[in-house]
Structure 1
Amino acid sequence: MSAFVVRAPASSANLGPGFDSLGLSVPLYTTLTVTPGERTEVVPLGPELEGTPANEDNYVYRAMLLVAQRTGQPLPPARVEIHTEVPLARGLGSSAAALVAGIVAANRLLGSPLDDHAVLDVAAREEGHPDNVAPALFGGIVVATLDKLGTHYVRLDPPEHLGVTVLVPDFELSTSKARAVLPREYSRADTIHALSHAALLAAALAQGRLDLLQHAMQDYIHQVWRAPLVPGLSDILDDAHKHGALGAALSGAGPTVLCFHDQRGTTASLHAYLLGVMKKNGLTGRVLDLPIDTQGTLVTPAD
């Protein structure tokens, strides 16, 4: 088999009320160059991966082994070079991109015994939820569920003119820490609020109702509890719409914050506002305007 390249995009999960079930992909990529050979080599490259294991303990290689376990086949030896543009522990699906890229690479090495749905199921069960891995695999906006009956999803093309602005602070926040602050139980009122707003958000994205995003993205399930971990988050959720955002949400477990914007307008005021919130809270970081990635994970021949 000839060498090949696997490219998986970053993702932003939840989008407010779609906790563990809704996400979209953005064009920051984790890339694997896989060269079949006589022995296994794992080679992390670049500053983002400095300090990550350069052996079979690497998360990407462990993801590859999941396919061998699912199919009952030994994983052929290969050199796996890993590069990523996705900042780690920032709420942009770095682990999901690595997981999906590894699973897709192993599936290719083994002759593609798993179809796309099975690849998603392997990834979602390993991650524990499908909100990041589904858009990383399929691109676009994906609504997905994971339960004892299987993994199920609906992929949506992004509405016309919908763009993404992300505020990426220069500090890490682990998913485990962000999950630890969540309550074990919710009131009936908060549960109804979550269900109704998640349904409205999915419908608004499906029909291109950009006017509804600000209202549909309200959330009481996770953002209110995680706000103390992300300085300035509460202000952004309350006020970003006054500066051109169509809606705002914590990206995954954070600390990145996502704002939707209309690509027909300017984001200058929104950028200035977000940078001002960071400065007010003594933080540094960057603000990026991104389209929504629609290709998902791609496999191409190596040069």
Structure 2
Amino acid sequence: MLTITVPASSANLGLGFDCLGLALDLNLTVTIGPKTNTWQVDHPFGADIPNDESNLIVQTARFVDPDIPPHQLVVKSDIPLARGLGSSSSALVAGLFLGHYLVGQTINRHQILQEAAALEGHPDNVAPTILGGLQLTDENKIGVQATPLPFPKDLVAVTFIPDYSLKTAAARAALPTTLALKTAVHQSQHLANLVAACYLGDQKRLMALVEEDQMHEPYRADLAPEFLQIRTLAHHLGLAGTYLSGAGPTVVSLVTKKQADQLLEAINGLNLNGTAMVLAVQQTGTTFTGSLD
């Protein structure tokens, strides 16, 4: 059997609103079983997630070709729903890879990026799930472009996932419709320096710059109160690098491997309602294992 594995993604990294995304080693897998008369999607997510052709993964696969023969699919995922870790983007990307594979097409990641961005509405989550690592995205007249940024090998993501969900629409509604010129200048200057820090390998500077956002995090902080709690806690430990993952409510702190256990223990000591874990950056993007008989 063939298994498609798609990583989670953490968008924005503070300053990179709708243009930066980081792949994290928390995965969705889709195992392709035999052909069936109708689509059958076996999953552990309950009745709210369809198990037939209306499932998002199948719908997306049929976007590639509506005449794809139905198969049995077994879906598993460590990516929590509506937590700011790209669960819907990962499902969408899995569906596109599934569709292209089943119609016998050569897997073209650039083409899949265009399709995924068009379906998702923006590329910051889908680019890292497809390509891995830290991706800087741009939408222009010729389509979506993704530029891989060097990411310090010593950094990991200490990740706190609250027990509650936060819909992207609600998080978007919290944002202002305009920004002051001073804020826009601050954002552009610091984002440019964050990109430079990646290329220079200056992880200390990168960790500090991650906390410089003035565009969205100040307006979303009330929706995810653990965010500022964890950032303040990290500062007490002398650590920078904490940001709101995507639209939230998940909180990510980029720290060195040596610092990760200390911060993880401290977060657990807060007794917050949620799960804290250390995640590596996933560098390969979507992968295939096995074969389809």
* TM tier relative to shorter chain: over 0.9
2:254 maps to 1:257: no
Q: Could you tell me how far 1:41 is from its partner in structure 2?
A: 1.9
Percent identity over paired residues: 36
Corresponding position of 2:135: 142
Corresponding position of 1:78: 71
Q: 1:80 to 1:115 in 2, by over 3 A?
A: same
Q: Secondary structure at the match of 1:126?
A: helix
Work out the CA distance in 1 between the residues paired with 2:104 and 2:28: 22
Contact 2:163 2:273 (8 Å CA) reproduced:
yes
Contact 1:90 1:172 (8 Å CA) reproduced:
yes
2:227 maps to 1:233: yes
Contact 2:101 2:107 (8 Å CA) reproduced:
no
Q: After the TM superposition, which of the residue ranges 285-294 and 111-120 deviates more from structure 2?
A: 111-120
> Any unmatched runs of 5+ in structure 2?
none
Work out the CA distance in 2 between the residues paired with 1:256 and 1:274: 13
TM-score (norm: length of structure 1): 0.89
2:138 maps to 1:160: no
Contact 1:15 1:250 (8 Å CA) reproduced:
yes
Corresponding position of 1:67: 64
Q: 1:94 to 1:60 in 2, by over 3 A?
A: same
Corresponding position of 1:287: 276
Q: 1:144 to 1:157 in 2, by over 3 A?
A: same
Corresponding position of 1:58: 55
Contact 2:152 2:198 (8 Å CA) reproduced:
yes
Work out the CA distance in 1 between the residues paired with 2:59 and 2:239: 39
Q: Could you tell me how far 1:146 is from its partner in structure 2?
A: 2.2
TM-score (norm: length of structure 2): 0.92
For 1:64, give the aligned amino acid. A
Matches within 5 A, 1:1-303: 3-46=1-44, 48=45, 51-68=48-65, 74-112=67-105, 115-217=108-210, 218-263=212-257, 265-277=258-270, 279=271, 283-302=272-291
Q: 1:180 to 1:42 in 2, by over 3 A?
A: farther
Q: Could you tell me how far 1:239 is from its partner in structure 2?
A: 5.0
> Any unmatched runs of 5+ in structure 1?
none
Q: Secondary structure at the match of 1:40?
A: coil
Q: 1:77 to 1:227 in 2, by over 3 A?
A: same
Q: Could you tell me how far 1:293 is from its partner in structure 2?
A: 0.7
